[in-house]
Amino acid sequence: MPWWIEFSEVARNLGLVVAGAVGVYLGWKRVTVANQQAEAQTRQAELTRRDHVAELFNRAVGQLRDEKLEVRLGAIFTLEQICLDFEDLSGPVLQLLTIYLQESPVDYGDSEPPADVREIVRLVRNRRGRRE
């Protein structure tokens, strides 16, 4: 075989290797950028969700002293859901509800406490039992 044919095959193979390497590099760069974008979107979604939870938390705390029992119960159930969905917020929620009960002591005598107080006690007991 003449030398120029062998040289052309070597040059062709070398070109294919270089083209393949460039293709792999460009593909890797594209995947890297896509991963960074996905991570940024995930972080943004988590921040948005946490903002929403903070709004729910603040609204629920404000509703704990509402005159209507159903509003107070809704607030307690909202705080319970926050405990379930965000384990890192469980401690502050339980602390808030415990302080709420301590700061509003009422002697119910022989009668049963109202449903909202019973729900707070149930929630605190259940969550503390899970943590221990």
> What pLDDT does residue 109 have?
79
pLDDT band at 104; cut points 50, 70, 90: confident
> What pLDDT does residue 55 have?
94
Residue-wise pLDDT tens digits, 46-83:
999 989 999 999 999 999 999 999 999 999 999 999 99
> What pLDDT does residue 128 have?
75
**Could you count the other beta carbons within 10 Å of the beta carbon of residue 126?**
13
Domain boundaries, the chain: 11-131
- pLDDT beyond 60 at 132: no
> What pLDDT does residue 9 have?
86
Q: What's the whole-model pTM score?
A: 0.68
When pLDDT is averaged across residues 82-100 and rounded to a whole number, the result is 91
pLDDT band at 34; cut points 50, 70, 90: very high
Instruction: Report d(CA 124, CA 112) in Å as an integer.
Output: 18
Contacts of 53 (CB under 8 A, 6+ apart): 82, 85, 86, 89
Residue-wise pLDDT tens digits, 113-122:
899 999 999 9
